Structure 1
């Protein structure tokens, strides 16, 4: 496993990001997390995570968090809430990508969403209509990362559930794939991608093989 520090995590306060934090610390990896508020700081610090308070939308905050010590990899699950005045999906991730480049990070893993980019074909039109503005911001972040020169992995989960991991989470390069997946399984896939050269510079959809919508066969991407 990666051991160099090493992992900088944005989005650790909730959802997939929190599951990733739990998984990484269980692997005894050194993790630094950027938090916008102190609400979950004590809980993350109790897990052994170094917490830095700051806003991903603020360039100075991001550079202060990332550039102060060596970083091996950056993982971002940044995504705004519907109530946010300004969502971090593009601008927050852009700041992280720029700082990761300055820091010489070896890999950047971006958690995006099925429905973004060429995977729009997998999503019903009414969903695209509802989520269109959000998906457009996520697409801009994906394209910025791809063009950045960083080694990247982009993971697009399907519909997210909060149940315990099933161990059936899989990745696919087929943009037509759609289904649901538990957040804990996404976290495991993200962490496996950290140490998989096969995942380098790939855009992958993530679903649970037992929670597919409609497909009878799934072209699975192997990380080994």
Structure 2
């Protein structure tokens, strides 16, 4: 269990932004039902582009663009879907409140000024095939699509936008390595990287998302409600990296969610994030995990809106790290109950247990220590440490004595 009490942040407060460490986008695994946290932890910061803001989606008729548009609308954003075919866009996305369809050809800069006017953020999901195909007709080759068009959109972007999220590809920093050298025979990775560099040099706040080979979709003639029902099938295990070092496949659903989260988490500013998804279960129906993840979601929301936070955490947070709870069969407390001949495991946390026999109390603490040394801090523990680091965590009340939060360099708080 993880509950939060928050004090609203002061108007006009400006905070110094930390560099993006390895802790970011933790909420992604909850939104895509992924469970792999080995390469991705989180940072909790104020929201960058809040719901209600206007987000331009370039490439809204593509598989990722459709899913992203649906997710943005579902989360309360205003979506300006830009494409070269307004009719096709309306057929694919339908007629939804807060959805505006506009014309824009990124290869022609003069068509972009009206499309980008007044937007708070831009998400570019455009792309073409790596090898010659019908999609190259009309000049839609990698150079025009992945470099020139992206550069034009970057140059047309309002200087005051809060985030420009660009979707490119894994392998852009490894064009000479197998299998990327094959994919790059016609320069697609070279031009995608040039598009990234144009964005990096622009001075705009940006995030680059680098998926591997995309799975799920593409989607045709789906309305928004149908798109929102999409799931990642068996590919629910998501991996993130700040390096271009992943290999595999990536669900379009996970990619769209990563783009959306880049709008919400400000420590993703000016970084490139690689993402893959593979077969594997997410959190599933484990009550402890579900409870902790729900709490973490609340924590992220509270952190986006507040400057002073008090947290009450319970066993659900530690359970995500593999620590025993009172209901764990054969776990620490069940073993201790038998070992010390107690009526139930909760007796271990009564004063009489320690007062009656100090040696058995020390033995129990030793067992807790051994279990805690094997456990790894969960995203929730990293969230506590990050909140403390940026000065937002005012108090942390907990019954947990496993020290897992301290593994993340969180200081012990005493009241």
Tell me the TM-score normalised to structure 2 length. 0.47
The yes-or-no answer on 1:190 pairing with 2:259 is yes
Question: Aligned partners of 2:178 and 2:66: how far apart in 1?
Answer: 26
The yes-or-no answer on 1:50 pairing with 2:95 is no
Question: Aligned partners of 1:146 and 1:89: how far apart in 2?
Answer: 14
Structure 1's unaligned 5+ residue stretches are: 212-220
SS of equivalent to 2:175 = helix
Q: Deviations over 1:51-103 (max 9, x none)?
A: 00231111111111112xx2111000111243324232111111111121x35
**Corresponding residue for 1:104?**
160
Runs of 4+ in structure 1 deviating by more than 3 angstroms, as ranges, are 119-123, 221-224
The yes-or-no answer on 1:140 pairing with 2:189 is no
Do the aligned partners of 1:121 and 1:175 also contact (CA within 8 Å) in 2? no
Work out which of the residue numbers 61, 72, 84 in structure 2 matches 1:13.
Answer: 61
Question: Aligned partners of 1:122 and 1:155: how far apart in 2?
Answer: 20
**Corresponding residue for 1:65?**
115
Question: Aligned partners of 2:273 and 2:175: how far apart in 1?
Answer: 13
**Corresponding residue for 1:205?**
274
Tell me the TM-score normalised to structure 1 length. 0.84
Greater C-alpha radius of gyration: 2
Do the aligned partners of 1:114 and 1:157 also contact (CA within 8 Å) in 2? yes
Do the aligned partners of 1:169 and 1:189 also contact (CA within 8 Å) in 2? no
The 1:122–1:180 alpha-carbon spacing in structure 2 relative to 1, beyond 3 Å, is: farther
Do the aligned partners of 1:78 and 1:89 also contact (CA within 8 Å) in 2? yes
Structure with bigger RCO (C-alpha 8 Å, 6+ apart): 2
Question: Aligned partners of 2:238 and 2:180: how far apart in 1?
Answer: 25
Do the aligned partners of 1:110 and 1:155 also contact (CA within 8 Å) in 2? yes
The 1:129–1:58 alpha-carbon spacing in structure 2 relative to 1, beyond 3 Å, is: closer
**Corresponding residue for 1:41?**
90
Post-superposition shift, 1:45?
4.2
Following superposition of structure 1 onto structure 2, how do residues 162-173 of structure 1 map, counting pairs within 5 Å? 162=216, 164-165=231-232, 166-173=235-242
Structure 2's unaligned 5+ residue stretches are: 1-46, 218-230, 281-378, 384-415
Do the aligned partners of 2:61 and 2:92 also contact (CA within 8 Å) in 1? no
Question: Aligned partners of 2:68 and 2:180: how far apart in 1?
Answer: 31
Post-superposition shift, 1:44?
2.2
Superposition RMSD in Å: 2.5
SS of equivalent to 1:110 = strand
Aligned length: 210
Question: Aligned partners of 1:103 and 1:125: how far apart in 2?
Answer: 34
SS of equivalent to 2:146 = coil
